[in-house]
Amino acid sequence: MAIAPHTKRDPHADTLTIPSSPAAQDEAVSPVSPAGPAGPAVTTAPKAAGRSTRRSHNGLKLAAAVVVLLIFCAASLAFGARATSIDVVIEALTNFDPSNGDHAVVRARIPRTITGLCVGIALGLAGAAMQGVARNPLADPGILGVNSGAALAVVFAIYFLGVTNLTGYIWFAFLGAAVAAIIVYAIASLGREGATPVKLALAGAALSAGLASLMNAVLVSSKKTLDEFRFWQVGSISGRDWDLILPVIPFLAAGVVITMFTGRILNGLSLGDDVARGLGQKVGLTRAITAVGIVILCGGATAMAGPIAFVGLVIPHMVRTICGPDYRWILPFSAVAAPLLVIGADVVGRVILPPSEIPAGIMTALVGAPVFIWLVRRRKLVSL
């Protein structure tokens, strides 16, 4: 990360003589003007070089992150109440033997790992896109009312309709999340200047609190509902079966496709609505398209795992310190880093307090929040 600015600042540092990471050595191939300090080319060359180094650096970092994610997935299959070795994991995946107990355990951990992967990708992308579209570093599914919408719908389903299984919650959570997001966005869009960041955050906070009150009114008067709901509320990726995962995956895929390609739009929006408009963007339309993607992703993630706090908020901030402020990088990085956090949190939650497990939703908050606070302290947050 430090390398790109370094080359920019010092035009005499020909061919990057002090690479500080192995990645930087590959970088020496890309031209940092061996021409040295001569002629007018010098003023532009280091700049262009800096940009291209950053780009290929980011590519390498992203690849490294994907590798780490794969390792985490393997760990998620191997660790738990009954730990298995990596060989057994590979064997169980390639050459499954139904009579082998270890193989069965590994197989049983597959849905949970897939859930973590899906939920992480969805929350990471949605968080990054949300922060860009709302131009608000605090934007997060939790703050914009999505989680509380889903939660209220689930309480409604339990109390009035007697739904008591995770698969039954899916569509209620989805619907609740979508309706809440649309209401927040609609309220914030009223008035002259449309959905400004402050209005979005305020509308989201207001709606969240209001919905939470309705929810509590039901929960304090119905023990049965509370007993079901309290386990959904913590947000967990364990105990999810394929019949819960498969129906949601098409939605998440659509959301990923929509959101992943909004990088250019978000870059424009991050300069402010007027500049974006000046650059030829249809601000209202692009914002609405991104919002649709966000709602699908948040709704899907919450339907799968319940409200998982903090991933959408913290990941984009962490990612920005690695890859810079360009949303075309922030989005893919978030999509890799967020499942890292979710799966990592889940694995840690499995082994930290045996024999009981701490759900992923709790662990993401316990792990994510200190990192977030550290980030807030460490540097001036990259302003949006």
Q: Residues interacting with another protein, by CB under 8 A?
A: 137-138, 142, 187-188, 190-193, 196, 198-199, 201-203, 205-207, 209-214, 216-217, 219-221, 223, 226-227, 230-231, 233-234, 309-310, 313, 358-359, 361-362, 365-366, 368-370, 372-373, 376-377, 381
Least separation in angstroms between residue 176's CB and another protein is 15
Indicate the residue among 63 and 376 with the shorter CB distance to another protein: 376
Contacts (Cβ under 8 Å, ≥6 apart) of 144: 130, 134, 181, 184, 200, 201, 204
Paired tokens of 138: 């605090």
Dist CA 189 CA 267 (whole Å):
21
Least separation in angstroms between residue 196's CB and another protein is 7
Least separation in angstroms between residue 231's CB and another protein is 6
Indicate the residue among 233 and 286 with the shorter CB distance to another protein: 233
Indicate the residue among 77 and 365 with the shorter CB distance to another protein: 365
Neighbours of 52 (CB within 10 A): 15
Least separation in angstroms between residue 227's CB and another protein is 4
Least separation in angstroms between residue 213's CB and another protein is 3
Least separation in angstroms between residue 205's CB and another protein is 6
Neighbours of 91 (CB within 10 A): 17
Closest of 131, 187, 132, 176 to residue 150, by C-alpha? 176
Least separation in angstroms between residue 19's CB and another protein is 32
Indicate the residue among 36 and 210 with the shorter CB distance to another protein: 210
Indicate the residue among 51 and 230 with the shorter CB distance to another protein: 230
Indicate the residue among 49 and 187 with the shorter CB distance to another protein: 187
Indicate the residue among 172 and 229 with the shorter CB distance to another protein: 229
For residue 61, report the phi and psi dihedrals to the nearest 5 degrees.
-60, -40
Amino acid (one-letter) located at 383? S
Q: In sequence order, which ranges of 28-135 are alpha helices (DSSP H)?
A: 41-78, 86-94, 101-108, 110-133
3-state SS string for 137-204: CCCCCCCCCHHHHHHHHHHHHHHHHCCCCHHHHHHHHHHHHHHHHHHHHHHHHCCCCCCCHHHHHHHH
C-alpha pair distances (Å), 34 with each of 17, 29, 31, 47: 11, 11, 7, 14
